[in-house]
Amino acid sequence: MDHFDIIIIGTGAGGGTVLHELATTGKRILVLERGPFLPREKENWDTKVAFNTTRYFGPEVWQDRDGNDLRAGMCYHVGGNTKLYGAALFRLRERDFEAVRHVDGVSPEWPLKYRDWEPWYARAEQLYHVHGEAGLDPTEPWRSGPYPWPAVSHEPRIAEITDALKAQGLTPSYTPLGVRLNEKQPHLSPCIRCSTCDGYPCLVHAKSDAEVSAVRPVMAEPNVTLLVDTRAERLLTDASGREVTGVEVRLDGEPVIFTADVFVVSCGSINSAALLLRSANDRHPNGLANSSGLLGRNLMKHVLGSILGVSSFKTNPTKFQKSLSVFDYYWGEPGFEFPMGQIQTLGKVSPAELEGSEARYAPLDIEFVSRHSVDWWLTSEDLPRANNQVRLGRDGRIVIDYTETNAAEFDRLMGRWKEVLKGIGCGCHILPNGRYFNAGSVTTFTHKLGTSGLGHQVGTAKFGEDPATSVLDLNCRAHDLDNLYVVDGSFFVSSAAVNPTLTIIANALRVGAHLHERLGAASASFARMANANPATPTRVPTTVAPSTAEPVLA
Ligand SMILES: Cc1cc2nc3c(=O)[nH]c(=O)nc-3n(C[C@H](O)[C@H](O)[C@H](O)COP(=O)(O)OP(=O)(O)OC[C@H]3O[C@@H](n4cnc5c(N)ncnc54)[C@H](O)[C@@H]3O)c2cc1C
Ligand code: SF4
């Protein structure tokens, strides 16, 4: 069996991005992805298929701590959950990296501060083609330069809402978005500004997901081998327990081990923790990289909610709705000294999305609701708690043991937002949005997502300087193993109250630069320049033993 320089496991925001960074090193890289490429088909934009079936959100069933089935609906495809994400790519605020007092405790300080992240955020915004406008939102952190692309404009109803919010003294801003939209020259724009973006795959590959932005651009590099439909089962170590030597997968039903010098795990915070827990051996009886006992713990997922603000008078013909954000309550409000969170518009809700919940929207009919609603997404920070954890059940299934924190902050934000919506004529009826982030669910009908709302999972292998209180070091290398890195959302110290993906991407770029140094490779930009030079020697393609999982090279 071939030996590789690097094996990357998972191709989402973390794994896909680190692959993009390392592909030009010439090092022999094997990428293992448990899912296939997401098929490009008309159904990509079919609400009933995307939201009400498990075609794109997987059918896997986990358990909550009481043994109830939990259908979190992860997207196991090349690109991971970014295939279905809303592409709202926010930077954390400067204060998010400091200790902040919340209703239920303290959100801990990060070992690296905003100033350390800023250059990586800037690169992440370039790579994922982020549109935005600086200077509108007072909580926004400083930037070394403008957004790489202009903000995605508001459609008329959202512009009207924006003006109404401003008239109330609020400071709405544009949501930073990773879409390849050219509004000045629409005939040249890959993005067609459609109504099926947030929660759907992009049929025309114009959304900046990890497949489009990071994996595809380097797939043809001869030193990169991507094996799809290949799930990492466990990692193996040498006798000392200090080095990972191999990863076990199943090919044709038979166990096969791939070996490498360096392993980068990026299966998403929950699956990465599960993989390391499953890899327990004599030297690591509680799971790899778990001498602190913290692996799988401190799971955070945000306190999340979604509502429809229905006007009895005004229709909302908006197609692409996810353009508006409000940070006015992020750090609290007069009379409430705790952070409350962030508000943003969601992808436009359609009648098909509400189907199955007719009785719950009665006496309004779902056509009316979707034609008249502006749809909102509310996020409050949850706290890292050791008891909030990913475990393995006796049958090996993933167990999510999670108790919510900061409910009072979320309730305050929700209450305040409902009042604001009423005040601007967007809240004649305020109704739950029961479907988004609730793959296949027709049973949920609340303003707030339950335990299965795990799309924003972070924190299960936090990084830090002290091996007793963290799983990863500052380079996201396991304290316990010399050649094991984790680059998905697991390293987060706190969840802040903005969507996590830009920070995951920025971190993957940062860790990628460290790996460049470790591997003695040229820097990414140097390597790219060299690649553009036809005099650059051709690299020898890597071959992989025959398998049912088709090696994908182009
Ligand atoms: C509907 C929805 C909307 C969202 N909208 C936003 C948004 O607007 N903005 C934002 O910032 N975030 C958003 N998110 C969250 C965002 O998708 C995640 O933060 C991001 O994808 C996490 O990146 P990751 O690398 O940690 O994991 P993922 O992107 O989930 O990638 C993990 C990868 O590992 C693979 N994998 C898992 N286990 C194994 C294994 N054992 N072997 C091999 N491969 C494996 C998976 O198939 C997947 O490809 C959204 C999520 C959802 C579900
Ligand atoms: S809005 Fe643009 S990026 Fe989003 S799905 Fe439609 S075409 Fe793709």
Q: Per-residue confidence of the chain (554 residues) as pLDDT tens digits?
A: 679 999 999 999 999 999 999 999 999 999 999 999 999 999 999 999 998 899 999 889 999 999 999 998 899 999 999 999 999 999 999 999 999 999 999 999 999 999 999 999 999 999 999 999 999 999 999 999 999 999 999 999 999 999 999 999 999 999 999 999 999 999 999 999 999 999 999 999 999 999 999 999 999 999 999 999 999 999 999 999 999 999 999 988 899 999 999 999 999 999 999 999 999 999 999 999 999 999 999 999 999 999 999 999 999 999 999 999 999 999 999 999 999 999 999 999 999 999 888 998 999 999 999 999 999 999 999 999 999 999 999 999 999 999 999 999 999 999 999 999 999 999 999 999 876 665 544 455 678 898 999 999 999 999 999 999 999 999 999 999 999 999 999 999 999 999 999 999 999 999 999 999 999 875 554 444 333 332 222 222 232 332 323 333 22
Q: How far is the CA of 375 from the centre of ligand 2 (A)?
A: 18
109 DSSP 8-state letter: P
Q: Domain for residue 115, yes or no?
A: yes
Residue nearest to atom 39 of ligand 1 (CA): 267
Same domain, yes or no, for 96 and 238?
yes
pLDDT at residue number 444: 58
Same domain, yes or no, for 103 and 145?
no
211 DSSP 8-state letter: I
Q: Domain for residue 67, yes or no?
A: no
pLDDT at residue number 534: 29
Instruction: Tell me, using a 6 A CB cutoff, whether residue 289 lines ligand 1.
Output: no
Which is the closest atom of ligand 1 to the Cα of 79? 49
For 173-185, the pLDDT digits (tens) are 999 999 999 999 9
Q: What whole-number distance in Å separates Cα of residue 422 and Cα of residue 170?
A: 15
Q: How far is the CA of 14 from the centre of ligand 2 (A)?
A: 22
Q: What whole-number distance in Å separates Cα of residue 334 and Cα of residue 240?
A: 57
Same domain, yes or no, for 320 and 293?
no
Same domain, yes or no, for 222 and 94?
yes
Query: pTM for the full model?
Result: 0.94
CB 403 within 8 A of CB 388: yes
472: three-class secondary structure by DSSP: strand
Q: What whole-number distance in Å separates Cα of residue 483 and Cα of residue 368?
A: 57
462: domain CATH number? 3.50.50.60
CB 103 within 8 A of CB 408: yes
Domain housing 150:
135-201+302-389+402-451
Angstrom distances, CA of residue 158 to CA of 316, 319, 369: 8, 10, 17
446: domain CATH number? 3.30.410
Pairing between β-strand 484-486 and β-strand 244-251 as defined by DSSP bridges: unpaired
CB 503 within 8 A of CB 14: no
pLDDT at residue number 521: 73
Same domain, yes or no, for 11 and 112?
yes
Residue nearest to atom 6 of ligand 2 (CA): 194
Instruction: Tell me, using a 6 A CB cutoff, whether residue 82 lines ligand 1.
Output: yes
CB 45 within 8 A of CB 192: no
Single out the residue of 342, 350, 351 nearest to residue 321, CA to CA: 350
166: three-class secondary structure by DSSP: helix
Secondary structure string (H, E, C) spanning 245-280? EEEEEEECCEEEEEEEEEEEECCCHHHHHHHHHHCC
Single out the residue of 386, 403, 414 nearest to residue 304, CA to CA: 414
Same domain, yes or no, for 195 and 310?
yes
Beta-carbon neighbour count of residue 2 at 10 Å? 13
Same domain, yes or no, for 444 and 475?
no
Phi, psi torsion values for 417, nearest 5 degrees: -70, -35
Helix 524-532 and helix 501-518: axis angle, to 10°? 80
Q: What whole-number distance in Å separates Cα of residue 501 and Cα of residue 177?
A: 11
Instruction: Tell me, using a 6 A CB cutoff, whether residue 457 lines ligand 1.
Output: no
Q: What whole-number distance in Å separates Cα of residue 161 and Cα of residue 481?
A: 52
422: three-class secondary structure by DSSP: helix
Same domain, yes or no, for 344 and 359?
yes
Q: Domain for residue 62, yes or no?
A: no
Q: What whole-number distance in Å separates Cα of residue 163 and Cα of residue 139?
A: 19
Structure tokens, 100: 């902040």
Host H or E run for residue 309? strand 303-310
Beta-carbon neighbour count of residue 248 at 10 Å? 16
Same domain, yes or no, for 291 and 325?
no
Number of domains in the chain: 2
Q: Where are the beta strands (DSSP E) in 37-148?
A: 62-64, 69-70, 100-102, 105-107, 130-132
CB 452 within 8 A of CB 71: yes
Beta bridge partners of 398: 392
Instruction: Tell me, using a 6 A CB cutoff, whether residue 84 lines ligand 1.
Output: yes
Same domain, yes or no, for 350 and 485?
no
Q: Is the peptide bond before 363 cis (omega within 30 degrees of 0)?
A: yes
Instruction: Tell me, using a 6 A CB cutoff, whether residue 197 lines ligand 2.
Output: yes
Instruction: Tell me, using a 6 A CB cutoff, whether residue 199 lines ligand 1.
Output: yes
Instruction: Tell me, using a 6 A CB cutoff, whether residue 279 lines ligand 1.
Output: no
Q: What whole-number distance in Å separates Cα of residue 371 and Cα of residue 348?
A: 10
Q: Domain for residue 146, yes or no?
A: yes
Same domain, yes or no, for 382 and 488?
no
100: three-class secondary structure by DSSP: strand
Structure tokens, 465: 């300087």
Structure tokens, 1: 């069996």
Single out the residue of 455, 531, 520 nearest to residue 198, CA to CA: 455
Q: Domain for residue 246, yes or no?
A: yes
Q: What whole-number distance in Å separates Cα of residue 426 and Cα of residue 71?
A: 32
Phi, psi torsion values for 160, nearest 5 degrees: -65, -45
Residue nearest to atom 50 of ligand 1 (CA): 85
380: three-class secondary structure by DSSP: strand
Single out the residue of 373, 397, 381, 253 nearest to residue 329, CA to CA: 381
